[in-house]
Every structure is written in structure tokens, then in C-alpha cells.
Amino acid sequence: METILTVEGLGKSFKERQIVKDISFNVKRGEIMAVLGPNGAGKSTTIRSIMGILYPDEGIVKFHQCEAGEIPRNKIGYLPEERGLYKNVKVMDMILYLAELKDYPIKKAKERALHYLAKLGLEGKEKVSVEELSKGMAQKVQFIGSIIHEPELLILDEPFSGLDPVSQEVFKSEIKELAQSGTAILLSSHQMNMVEEICDRLFMIHRGQRVIEGTMIDVKNEYANFKCTIRGENEAAVLERLSHVSRVEQKGDVSIVYLNQEVVVPQWLKQLPETLSIQELSIDRISLHEIFIDIATDRHIIKEESASHA
């Protein structure tokens, strides 16, 4: 697959404080790449540097083979983290204005706008003023504005935030369709379930630096240890004493036993004491949401350190 966006060794400081350091990744045609990280990790700084809104101190951003001033901005679509449209402008005029800024033919833009307004549940809203829209509706209009000119690369900074579950599903399938039609998509999100469902690869930043990168399957294989969920009255201390247990969480009569990377699941199951109360038992890989929490709270580092001291 052809590489559309390349980021190499990106670094940015504000007032001598290093915000992002040595960030490198790429996004290919038809691929959905997620940029993840806790609040303040440096995702928006990375995205703004790619968009040319910020000047990185170090590194290169390439669109195909074009760098900096040569990048054809009308081939890129951007939904910024800060939502904002002119308030006293009609929906269709707003979208056509955004298309015009990208030198996109107005007749075609109008057809596309009507198509997407209908698809996103805003049929008949063309002449409504932006200020009369709800927050979610305005976000949909801004999303349409970011794709109206058929960009080759689409950058979405937290596209799902502020949307109800139905609208999130609509956005999700729209983003998937755009990727299937060949658009390269880079998105940042805190909704790990969404990321898990739609993204092909992910890149996680923590304190301005890369901590994870890879396909969803690679990341799961590398970081997603197993967890055993047991329903039954059991004392946490008993479960904690079992081998390969990194921690135990209990809620009512359900215990979640997190297992470390070295565990061999069939062997682990064989050594469970007969005295355990088991009404139900399941073994699963931990989710991306749990991987994120492990990394953001430095639990995986603690685990690695304790393993290396063992």
C-alpha cells in the first residue's frame, strides 16, 4: 500500500519544555491509523505539527514526497479538536465556503453536501443557520466540511467526542467507508472501543514519546495479557496467591484475575485449588481500554521492572 503521510523524528517544545520527542509513523492509502495517549500526552501537538499549524523544532512531515511548503493542503481534510464554524451562516453556505477554500468545484461540492447531509441525518437542514444546530449536529456539518473536497488524507482530532451513541455509530461507518474508498485516515480518540473496532494500526504516545505502535493484532499479542473472570464467593487474598497473578479486582461476587505475560493458560487452569467457588469462569485477552490504562498508569513498566529484577 502506498504511503500517504510520513512523520519522521518529530519534536516540539514549548518554552523549553519538550512536549513531543522523536515521533515517527506513517499512514498508508486506505488505512485507519489511531494516535492514542492520555490527556496532555502530545496528540494534538503532533496533529497540529502535521497540519502546519505548529512548526516542529525537529523532524520531517511528508505528504507523498512533498515536504512543508510544498504540501498540497487541498488534498488534506482536517477536523480540529476545537470545533468551530461561523455561527450566522447557513449550513450549505458553510460547507460550500469550506469547499471553495480547497479549490473544489462548487457544483460537485453541493451534490456531495446534500448526499452527506442526508447520510448523517441532517436532510433539509441546508438553509438552517449554524447557530440553530445542536452541538452534535454542528459537529456533523464540520465533519462534512472536512471531507467535502475528497481529501486523500483525512485527519480527525477526537471525532467521536460530544456525539451520542447513534451518531458515533454513523461516524464510525462513515470513516470506515472513506478508508475503503482509499482515503488515508489519521485519528485521535479516547474511545478505545471505537479504535479497536475501526483502526488498522495504532500509535500510542505517553509523555510525548512513542510507547506502542503496530497493528491491532500485534499490539494485542504483545501487550494484552490474559485475564480470568470468576463468579463465585472468593477472597482476593486467595486469588492473589495463585501463580502468575499480577492483580485482582473484585466487584460483588465477580473477581477479575489479571495474569502476567509468562502464564501458560492450560497449566494455570490446572493448578486452581478445588476449594475455589466457581459459578462461572472465562478467560479473555484484556481489551485495548485496559492496555491503555496499564500504560497510562505505568503498570506495564512496573511489571517489566519487577520481571527484570526477578
- Which residues bind to ligand ATP, rule: CB under 6 A? 14, 19, 37, 39-45
Nearest residue to 150 via CA among 107, 109, 92, 117 = 109
Q: How far is the CB of 42 from ligand ATP (least distance, A)?
A: 4
Q: HSE on the CB side for 265, CA within 13 Å?
A: 11
Q: How far is the CB of 288 from ligand ATP (least distance, A)?
A: 16
Nearer to ligand ATP, 45 or 142 (CB): 45
Contact by Cβ (8 Å): 174, 154: no
Q: How far is the CB of 43 from ligand ATP (least distance, A)?
A: 4
Nearer to ligand ATP, 122 or 205 (CB): 205
Q: HSE on the CB side for 73, CA within 13 Å?
A: 13
Q: How far is the CB of 85 from ligand ATP (least distance, A)?
A: 20
φ, ψ dihedrals at 93, nearest 5°: -60, -40
Q: How far is the CB of 69 from ligand ATP (least distance, A)?
A: 22
Nearest residue to 204 via CA among 41, 49, 78, 58 = 41
Give the span between the Cα atoms of 245 and 190, in whole angstroms: 28
Nearer to ligand ATP, 191 or 250 (CB): 191
Which residues, 6+ apart, have CB-to-CB distance to 208 below 8 Å?
18, 19, 20, 21, 23, 41, 42
Nearer to ligand ATP, 190 or 303 (CB): 190
Instruction: Please state, in angstroms and as integers, the Cα–Cα distance from residue 278 to each residue in 25, 231, 253, 270, 288, following that order.
Output: 46, 6, 10, 14, 27
Give the span between the Cα atoms of 2 and 20, in whole angstroms: 26
Nearer to ligand ATP, 23 or 257 (CB): 23
Positive or negative, the Cα torsion across 87, 89, 95, 97? negative
What is the SS3 assignment for 126? coil
Nearer to ligand ATP, 37 or 151 (CB): 37
Q: How far is the CB of 175 from ligand ATP (least distance, A)?
A: 19
Q: How far is the CB of 201 from ligand ATP (least distance, A)?
A: 18
Q: How far is the CB of 210 from ligand ATP (least distance, A)?
A: 13
Nearer to ligand ATP, 28 or 207 (CB): 207
Give the span between the Cα atoms of 58 and 20, in whole angstroms: 10
Nearer to ligand ATP, 19 or 198 (CB): 19
